[in-house]
Structure 1
């Protein structure tokens, strides 16, 4: 088994899990993903981003552990969809998620810190 396919439980708050859930689900809403961006985020295609992204979002909502690959994809998808007005939700983020920039940025930073060990330093 690849280290990317190892299942890891990360202690995130409900708010942090909600943030990642919204970051994945937004790709099916106001965001406009390209095939190249979907692949850069770690999916096979836009169709895969939508299908697999919804599965990951569902697992996040249920508090399930994810694979290292899925934690990485959830974080990257959220970072891009939140920040980008060209491909992501950008200025529509608050209207579609209910999270304003002032609450999203610290939440995102906390998630980045908590996931750094999972993503960047997998166990040997």
Structure 2
């Protein structure tokens, strides 16, 4: 007889790590589109524009991470405001690059620790 885990049993670290990982591809295309209020076609379009590259399940289905959903949601905001999709994708990429450059600049300005 197999013993089933009680619903309140603590999860294993590996499961918890995946749930906390912004890059873990946890969402199907349909669920991802629903979460950001768009269509699967929009997700395909921003994939074709190389804004995001979803991972594929063993069956070949697209899977999206929380980070990718945040990026897609930002692109959707720009498109909803009238920006063409290709331009919106480029803007999001540039915003991401700027944020990373500012973060690195801030790290370099910190005095070294002993």
Provide the TM-score with structure 1 as the length reference: 0.33
Structure of higher CA gyration radius: 2
Provide the TM-score with structure 2 as the length reference: 0.35
Q: Which has the higher helix share?
A: 1
